[in-house]
Amino acid sequence: MATAPSRGGPVSAVPAAIEATDVSRTYQLDGVSVPALRGVSLTVAPGDYVALVGPSGSGKSTLMHLLGGLDRPTGGRLVIGGREVAALSAAELADLRNRTIGFVFQAFHLLPRTSAVDNVALPLVYRGVGARQRRARAAAMLDRVGLGHRLNHRPNQLSGGEQQRVAIARALVADPAVLLADEPTGNLDSATGAAVLELLERLNASSGVALVLVTHDHEVAARARRRIAMRDGVVASDSAAPAGEGGTGRRAAADGRAELHDRPPSGGVDGPDTLVPAPSAEPRSASGSGPGHPPGGSGGAIGATGRLPRPPDDRAGAGS
Ligand SMILES: Nc1ncnc2c1ncn2[C@@H]1O[C@H](COP(=O)(O)OP(=O)(O)OP(=O)(O)O)[C@@H](O)[C@H]1O
């Protein structure tokens, strides 16, 4: 069984790999079958750093939703964290997702009236972690992404890069084996996007969380250690980066330097990361019927229904 190193602790017993074998996903639309994925086979290994690329409509989002347990295949075999998805009830799949997968989206999906620390603490609510522990872990995770001094800021009091850092902290606070990032730099200017990407790479290198990143940006894709190219619902190529390319963070980890650089030297607030991002595009629908991004709300903290939950009182937040 594949396992992943747990941040700051012993090796976790949680299976890390995702395995898709001849997976297909066909949508039914007005009586017409739309084959979005047609026999995809791939494995995400512990600590992987994968860029998922391909033209619009090639099936990237559909595949990400399957890999993240937000949707189920209509054919083939999908195993997440050692559990076969087809054998799980909706509640079991939600629990597996909560324990195994973190999500980061282009549009951040933070709760707007909730502080950074309470946004980050939200996934721990679903893990049954007590309020005091939630706050402590969320604060530590925010510190790790360079926002230890922004705990009580609400999203509209943070820059775009800082908001994405909060979203990354939220995605990682429950120590998932795999982080799925759908265009995580897509709403940011290039300098801020580069800083966010470097943060993701540092976290991948230092914690062993597998990073799977959907991107249309060739420069972003070129940094990954492995590139999976989708075309017309199939994997057109799945290749390791040529020697000397990709895997910046992994090489740093191998050198033993990654942990030292886990936190940006400046605290992450100075320099380009404070720039205001381009306006967010409206997220697409994320009902069970389609592969769009989850609706506005909490983004990485996806509840039992596979939709993004909203706490009873957004003003109170999760960690208070
Ligand atoms: N709910 C749905 N019902 C019917 N067809 C769908 C549905 N969702 C997606 N599709 C179709 O499935 C195919 C793959 O869509 P998907 O969104 O996965 O592509 P993508 O590679 O992520 O595209 P983009 O880069 O534009 O986001 C497309 O042909 C799309 O039209």
Widest CA span in the chain: 56
The one-character DSSP state at 47 is T
Whether residue 242 lies inside any domain: the answer is yes
Whether residue 243 lies inside any domain: the answer is yes
Whether residue 315 lies inside any domain: the answer is no
Distance CA 97, CA 110 (A): 19
Q: Which of 52, 62, 182, 231 to mutate to test the pocket of ligand 1 (most atoms within 8 A of CB)?
A: 62
Whether residue 237 lies inside any domain: the answer is yes
- From the list 249, 242, 258, the residue with the least C-alpha distance to 213 is 249
Q: What is the pLDDT of residue 13?
A: 44
Whether residue 43 lies inside any domain: the answer is no
Query: Residue 316 CB: number of other CB atoms within 10 A?
Result: 12
Number of domains in the chain: 1
Question: Residue 159: what are its φ and ψ, rounded to 5°?
Answer: -70, 170
Tell me: pLDDT of 82 over 90: yes
CATH of the domain at 54: 3.40.50.300
CB distance 106 to ligand 1 below 6 Å? no
Q: Which domain holds residue 123?
A: 49-68+87-274
pLDDT digits (tens, 9 = 90+) for 258-277: 332 233 333 332 222 222 22
Higher per-residue confidence, 13 vs 163: 163
The residues near 254 (Cβ < 8 Å, ≥ 6 apart) are none
- The bridge status of strand 49-53 relative to strand 32-44 is unpaired
Distance in Å, CA 262 to ligand 1 centroid: 36
Distance CA 114, CA 248 (A): 34
User: Residue 77: is it exposed, middle or buried by C-beta count within 10 angstroms (0-12/13-18/19+)?
Assistant: middle
- What residue type is 228 in one-letter code? I
Whether residue 299 lies inside any domain: the answer is no
CB distance 36 to ligand 1 below 6 Å? yes
- The bridge status of strand 178-182 relative to strand 101-105 is parallel
- What residue type is 184 in one-letter code? P
Min mean pLDDT across 40-44, 220-224, 254-258, 270-274 is at 270-274
Whether residue 178 lies inside any domain: the answer is yes
Whether residue 35 lies inside any domain: the answer is no
Tell me: pLDDT of 294 over 70: no
